[in-house]
Each structure stands twice: as C-alpha cells, then as structure tokens.
Amino acid sequence: MTETPTAAAITAVWRHESVRLVGALARMTRDLDVAEDLAQDALVAALEQWPDEGVPANPGAWLTAVAKRRAIDLFRRNDTLRRRTAELATEPGEVEMPEVDHIADDVLRLAFLSCHPALPPESRTALTLRLVGGLTTQEIARAYLVKDATMGQRISRAKRLLAESGASFEMPTGREREERLDDVMAVVYLIFNEGYAASSGPDWTRPELCLEALRLARILRWLVPDDPEVHGLQALLELQGSRLTARRDTEGRPVLLDDQDRRRWDQLLVHRGLAALAEAERLGRAGRPVGTYVVQASIAACHARARRPEDTDWSEIARLYDVLAYVAPGAVVEVNRAVAYGRAHGADAGLAVLDAVADDPALARSHLPLAVRGDLLERAGRADDAAAAFRAAAALTGNEDERALLSSRAARITRG
C-alpha cells in the first residue's frame, strides 16, 4: 500500500523529533520508561489527528505539548507525585521544542545519563544508542552482532539498573562528567556511523542520524574545549559528513568513495573538520593526550585533501592505521588497515592483513571482511574468487542498498 503524504510526514517528523522529545520528557518525569510511553502516546495522537487536521506548522512543539499534557494528567492521577504536577505546570515554553545548543540540551543530558557508571559498559552503549540514537533494538543487535532478544534484555536491564541506582537526571559536572565523556563520545560516533552506513533497512544512509551526531559533537566541543579527543571526534564527523550527499548518485544509487564526484563534497564541513583537527593537534602539542579520534580524523583528512582519488596519500593512511592498530587494536581496525595496505603496498599485502583476522569471532556475522576481500581479490586479478566474496558479503549484509551494490559488483566481474 502506498503511504499517504500525511503518514510520510508523521514518519519523518517522528524520526527527527522523537529523541529530543524523549530527552525532554525524561528531564520532566525523571523516568525513562514513562518518558518513552508518553512520547509514544503523542505519536498515536498525531496518527489519529493529523490526517484530518493537517500537519501543524511546528510538529515538534505539537508533540511536546501533547506529551506534556499527558504527563500532567498522569501525575494528577498519582497522589504521591502531586508536587511534580506543579513543577511541570510552571515549566517554561509549554509549546516550544528546545532547539538551543547549550549545556542544558536534553539529548546530551540523556546521553550522559545513559552512560552512568552504575551500568556495565556494554549496557551503557546499548541504552544510549536506543534512547539518544533512536535506533531500534534490531539495529543495535546487528551492530553488536548479537541476537535481538539478547539486546532487548540488555536494554531493559539497563533501564532497571538506572532506576534502582537513583541516578540523577541532571547534567553531570567536574570529575563525574569527565568519567563519562569517553562513553558519550563513543556513542555519538556509533550514532553517526549508523547514519553514514546503515546496518539494516532499505536506506544506504540515514542523514538525520549523522546530523544529530554532528550536533552533539559540536556541543561536546563547547562543553569540553580543552580535550583533543573531543575536537578529534568533531573533526572526524565533519570530514566524514562532508561526503554524505556524494554517497548517492542522481538516481539514488549508492556510490563508493573512489567513484564519488568530489565536487559534491560539502566544503563547509571539510573546512570545519580540518579546523577542528588543527585545534586537536595544537592541544596535543601542548601536552594533552591524543587518542583514536584524532588519528581517525587524520585519516579522513587525507581523503578530504585529495582532489582526485589518485591523489590520495595511501602510504600515509596505511601509516596512520598502523598507529590506530597500536593504540586501539581490534578486528574492525584490521579490516580497514587491510584496505589501506592494499592501496599503499599492493593487494597481496592487504590480503595478508585480512587473513590474520579471518577467524576472529568478532567478525563472524559481519559482511565487511568479505566485501574488503572481494575488492582486494579483484585488484589482484582473481576475478572468480572476488565475485564469490562479493556474493557472500551480499548474503550477510542487512542493508538492502548495500546488498544490491555488492551483488552488482559480483555480476559485473562475472560478465567480465
């Protein structure tokens, strides 16, 4: 059935506003489950009313007002929470959706809450991706290569632990903020990655997730201006985000990096990214510790500075991946290092790096090693093996556009 224009508008509004709505409601109610339920109630109200009344001029404010009224009704029904009714009634801006990028930003507040030390590390990340990234349980499970039910239990357990710990819903300060910063940055990066290369579904990219991650990274830079890694994270996301438009052709089909029209790269984001990287490097020279985001931003900068694919300094990228593998060893880093080695030192060198992690259980359900293997084998002139690798990768990916792209690469090689 074809989706009506109003239904499409509701879907778009919900994807854009739901995370901020849950963040605002969590601040008001001090209860994550209640906040999510109230947000869903507002969505149901939109589905019921907007087809007849039309989409309001400020749909985010409409959803917020509806959810807030229902929160007040909920508290009125509960005698033990009458005090909160009075507090909610005096909250400023009843129909205003918060848009400011400052320390009180509800989404960032939610990110710091979800990264509370009472939660185990894997639960912090999962809960933040669910609440702040707006990802479904299935998408998070795919990103972590676990079963949907396992991830659902992990998220539910995290909410319960937060409630039992009596965690504050206020923005942490001082040492408490510093202790949670690494987790928050990691989740912002994961949100961006899910937008840049969606793990499942019909879309090659999800730009709204990239934009939200960029917004949060910029707020973090304002919040913690003397940390090179915060500047490195912003630089990385700005530089990667500059390519978003070019990742699809005029007909909406996915386009790989080498085939992109670099004139379509967003030069404002490139300049912002290079400026953030320069500030990270300045802080590093001043003695502040530099880590993985600065290294990854340096890799992205090598691509951004190359006007043509053949101008890319792959030797420098391979060197930087060596550094990254030293400071943050892992199977995914090795897969990317294999790409760099294949370009800098030849396909066989890349295959040798890839073979070293071929049996790593962290990659067992991932399509990426097979996709990279297919590319390296094609460069090595092993057409049949390359086509087989691309077909195997296509069978593993949960993203429809990526599956089509990998299948077409296999078919092209087979046709000769």
Render 51-118 in DSSP notation, one character per residue.
HHH---SSHHHHHHHHHHHHHHHHHHT-GGGHHHHHHHHT-S-TTPPP---STT-HHHHHHHHHT-TT
Render 125-159 in DSSP notation, one character per residue.
HHHHHHHTS---HHHHHHHTT--HHHHHHHHHHHH
What does the CA dihedral 200, 272, 220, 98 come to, rounded to 10 degrees? -80
> CB of 212 within 8 A of CB of 272?
no
| Predicted local distance difference test score (pLDDT) of residue 9 | 74
CB-CB neighbours of 260 under 10 Å:
18
Task: Tell me which residue of 125, 264, 277, 247 sits closest to 186, measured CA to CA.
Answer: 125
Residue 306 to residue 184: CA distance in whole angstroms = 31
Architecture (CATH level 2) of domain 5-89: Orthogonal Bundle (1.10)
| Predicted local distance difference test score (pLDDT) of residue 376 | 96
Query: Cα–Cα distances in Å, from 140 out to 36, 107, 148, 152?
Result: 18, 18, 8, 9
| Predicted local distance difference test score (pLDDT) of residue 104 | 45
* 3-class secondary structure, 399: strand
Length, in residues, of the chain: 416
> What is the mean pLDDT of each successive set of 10 residues along the chain, which is 416 residues long?
66 71 71 72 78 79 78 59 50 41 62 82 82 79 79 86 75 77 88 82 79 87 90 97 91 89 94 96 86 96 95 97 94 95 96 93 88 95 94 90 90 83
Single-letter amino acid, residue 100: V
Q: Which DSSP symbol is given to 247?
A: G
Residue 232 to residue 62: CA distance in whole angstroms = 37
Return phi, psi of residue 248, to 5°: -130, 145
Q: Which DSSP symbol is given to 3?
A: P
What is the pTM (predicted TM-score) of this model?
Answer: 0.74
| Predicted local distance difference test score (pLDDT) of residue 286 | 84
> CB of 22 within 8 A of CB of 36?
yes
What's the longest Cα–Cα distance across the chain? 75
Residue 145 to residue 124: CA distance in whole angstroms = 16
pLDDT digits (tens, 9 = 90+) for 241-288: 999 999 988 888 889 999 999 999 999 999 999 999 999 999 988 887
| Predicted local distance difference test score (pLDDT) of residue 288 | 78
Residue 382 to residue 371: CA distance in whole angstroms = 14
Return phi, psi of residue 301, to 5°: -65, -35
Tokens of 133: 């990234």
* 3-class secondary structure, 201: strand
| Predicted local distance difference test score (pLDDT) of residue 292 | 94
| Predicted local distance difference test score (pLDDT) of residue 89 | 52
Single-letter amino acid, residue 272: R
pLDDT digits (tens, 9 = 90+) for 225-244: 999 999 999 999 999 999 99
Residue 254 to residue 94: CA distance in whole angstroms = 42
Query: Cα–Cα distances in Å, from 369 out to 142, 347, 355, 398?
Result: 15, 14, 9, 15
Domain with CATH 1.10.1740 in the chain: 5-89
Residue 177 to residue 170: CA distance in whole angstroms = 11
Single-letter amino acid, residue 1: M
Would you say the C-alpha torsion 117, 122, 124, 127 has a positive or negative sign? negative
| Predicted local distance difference test score (pLDDT) of residue 102 | 38
Q: Which residue has the tokens 């694919």?
A: 309
